[in-house]
Amino acid sequence: MDRRRFMAGAGLAAGGAATAAVLATPAIAQDKPTVRWRMTSSFPNTLDTLFGSSELLAKSVSDLTDGRFTIDVFPAGELVPGLQALDAVQEGTVEAAHTVLYYYVGKDPTFAIGSAIPFGLNARQQNAWLYNGGGNEAINGFLADYGVVAYAAGNTGTQMGGWFRKEINSLADLQGLKMRIAGIAGQVLAPLGVVAQQLAGGDVYPALERGTLDATEFVGPYDDEKLGFYQVAPYYYYPAFWEAGPTVHFVFNKAQLETLPAEYRAALEVAAAQCNIRMLADYDVKNMRAIRSLVGKGVQLRPLPRDVLDAAYESAQALYARLDETNPKWKAMFDPWKEFRTQAFEWFRVAEYTNDTYVYSQQAAGR
């Protein structure tokens, strides 16, 4: 064979193989468009566990899509105020938000069920309802009217009842109390004499310091210590009966979500589930350390008086009954949720409660 013809043939063959390899990669890549979204958060970036969940989502989605789907995350106030995050997604100002659905009870009280309502589910029960009890489907069916879709983004676990400038020794001490409190808990406490206000996290400390607020709830020891509430309100009450297991959500513009390739939507779901698991685990570790730190700083831990809990429970049941009669959207979500709650409580009383009660009593006795 002629040497030049051989070399040319070999070169053609090699070039063909190389060309095929080069073309193969872009052919796959062409099925994966470059997408860049913006997500606004309801939380300041100083709250690293809450805000960090949105950062974890962005990183995980980028990793799962080889960097072709990226999400830029903005803390509260940088693009829109924290309590307007959902509105920004509805209006298409941003594609996504990181928020808590009960912030929007002014639109409809039904929003609260997706996050937490007084005397509701703990974190494990909440996740069971969301993933296996029809919760996610119910929430997104309700949210369809708003043009958004929500994925669970995390859970804080049972929160603390909040910071008070003065002691609460009985129900009578709630009369005229000005308290920052989220969701429909304010509607539950109003008949008990509480003047409820909903403020973003960054506005709470100065209001407490000036005396514009007498009390505030926020999350729990770790975040509350960061925000410095103990410096202006020394009494720390527990538990937050209105938030036994509150879910934080990622909210996406439905039209934008539907334009994504299937693998990008799958990446969002997987990343959101990871965030949901991680947040609770993070808080369970951070809070157990922060509560010791706060007590060491002189914080006075107090249980909410029994007459306060009893009165709040009755107020909550009355509110739910009224909403069931007057709000069809509430009823459609609440009634199945209530049935799930009944059965979950029955089961947890058999195993979890009995086990926990015994071992905690032994630990408290120093054994």
Q: Which of 1-10, 282-291, 334-343 has the lowest mean pLDDT?
A: 1-10
Mean pLDDT of the chain: 92
Task: Identify the pLDDT of residue 34.
Answer: 97
Residue 60: closest CA among 270, 259, 247 = 270
Task: Identify the pLDDT of residue 32.
Answer: 86
Task: Identify the pLDDT of residue 204.
Answer: 87
Average pLDDT for 245-261:
98
Q: Across the chain, how many H-helices and E-strands are there?
A: 13, 11
Angle at 227 between CA 177 and CA 81, to 5 degrees: 85
Task: Identify the pLDDT of residue 199.
Answer: 79
The separation between CA 362 and the C-alpha centre of its own chain, rounded to angstroms, equals: 33
Average pLDDT for 34-60:
97
Task: Identify the pLDDT of residue 366.
Answer: 95
Model confidence at 117, in pLDDT bands (50, 70, 90)?
A: very high
Instruction: Locate the domains of the chain by residue range.
Output: 29-155+245-284
Q: DSSP 3-state assignment of 28?
A: helix
Neighbours of 302 (CB within 10 A): 15
- DSSP states of 159-177: PP-EEESS---SGGGGTT-
Instruction: Give residue-wise pLDDT tens across range 118-168.
Output: 999 999 999 999 999 999 999 999 999 999 999 999 999 999 999 999 999
Instruction: Give residue-wise pLDDT tens across range 295-333.
Output: 999 999 999 999 999 999 999 999 999 999 999 999 999
Nearby residues of 307 by Cβ (< 8 Å), 6 or more positions away: 170, 171
Rounded to an integer, what distance in angstroms lies between the CA atom of residue 195 and that of residue 180? 9
Percent of the chain with pLDDT over 90: 88
The count of C-alpha atoms lying within 13 angstroms of the C-alpha of 137, restricted to the half-sphere facing its C-beta, is 9
Task: Identify the pLDDT of residue 200.
Answer: 72
- CB-CB contact of 327 with 109 (8 Å): yes
Q: Hey, which residues does 96 pair with through a beta bridge? A: 39, 252
Task: Identify the pLDDT of residue 299.
Answer: 98
Model confidence at 108, in pLDDT bands (50, 70, 90)?
A: very high
Residue 198: closest CA among 319, 334, 107, 315 = 107
Which residue pairs, CB below 8 angstroms and at least 24 apart, start in 136-139? Answer: 138/113, 138/332, 138/333, 138/336, 138/337, 139/101, 139/113, 139/114, 139/333
Tokens 């969002």 correspond to: 268
Angle at 90 between CA 86 and CA 94, to 5 degrees: 80
Give the burial string for 159-180 (b: 16+ CB within 10 Å, else e): bbbbbbbeebeebeebeebbbb
Taking domain 29-155+245-284, whether its CATH number is 3.40.50.1100 is answered by no
Highest mean pLDDT, choosing among 28-32, 45-49, 331-335: 331-335
Rounded to an integer, what distance in angstroms lies between the CA atom of residue 139 and that of residue 150? 8
Task: Identify the pLDDT of residue 314.
Answer: 98
The count of C-alpha atoms lying within 13 angstroms of the C-alpha of 119, restricted to the half-sphere facing its C-beta, is 17
Burial of 140 by CB count in 10 Å (0-12 exposed, 13-18 middle, 19+ buried)?
A: middle
Q: DSSP 3-state assignment of 216?
A: strand
Model confidence at 251, in pLDDT bands (50, 70, 90)?
A: very high
| CA dist list (Å): 263 to 53, 175, 219 | 21, 54, 34
- CB-CB contact of 240 with 158 (8 Å): yes
Q: Which of 18-22, 154-158, 198-202, 305-309 has the lowest mean pLDDT?
A: 18-22
Model confidence at 14, in pLDDT bands (50, 70, 90)?
A: very low
Nearby residues of 93 by Cβ (< 8 Å), 6 or more positions away: 40, 79, 80
